[in-house]
Amino acid sequence: MLDIESFHRDGDGSAAPYHLLRPTGELDAYTVAQFREALAEHAAAGRLVVDLCGVPFMDSAGLGALIGGIRRIRENEGRVVVYCNGATLLRLLHTTGFDRIVPVEETLEAAVGALDRDPGI
């Protein structure tokens, strides 16, 4: 089962407003449709942090959905950063080269800060 929360965060003195998308649970072929929908709903978000800290496992279907969602957001001139602090998932994101196409940060503060540095695909 996959639960997905979405929040709008107001900016403070150092950061502009952004959206936070937080899936919790395994992100695999069985749950990917729900994740893909959530990403599509944020295609025009402008600034999005995808919080993967609650995802203990992600397969290639989940990774593909994440990449596709990021491309749609960037096609709309948006910026995306992934926030992840789990060793297994971080290893997957680094091994696959995902971190070369989108910033991957290990703290929420660093992820919000990286929204302004996001170079785009």
Summarize pLDDT for 42-60 with one digit per residue, the tens.
999 899 999 999 999 999 9
CA distance 31 to 105: 24
pLDDT in tens, 85-114: 999 999 999 999 999 999 999 999 999 999
Average confidence score pLDDT of the chain: 91
Instruction: State residue 6's pLDDT score.
Output: 94
Q: Which CATH class is domain 2-114?
A: alpha beta
CA distance 111 to 8: 15
Instruction: State residue 85's pLDDT score.
Output: 95
CA distance 97 to 49: 19
Give the number of other Cβ atoms within 10 Å of residue 67's Cβ: 15
pLDDT band at 121 (very low <50, low <70, confident <90, very high): very low
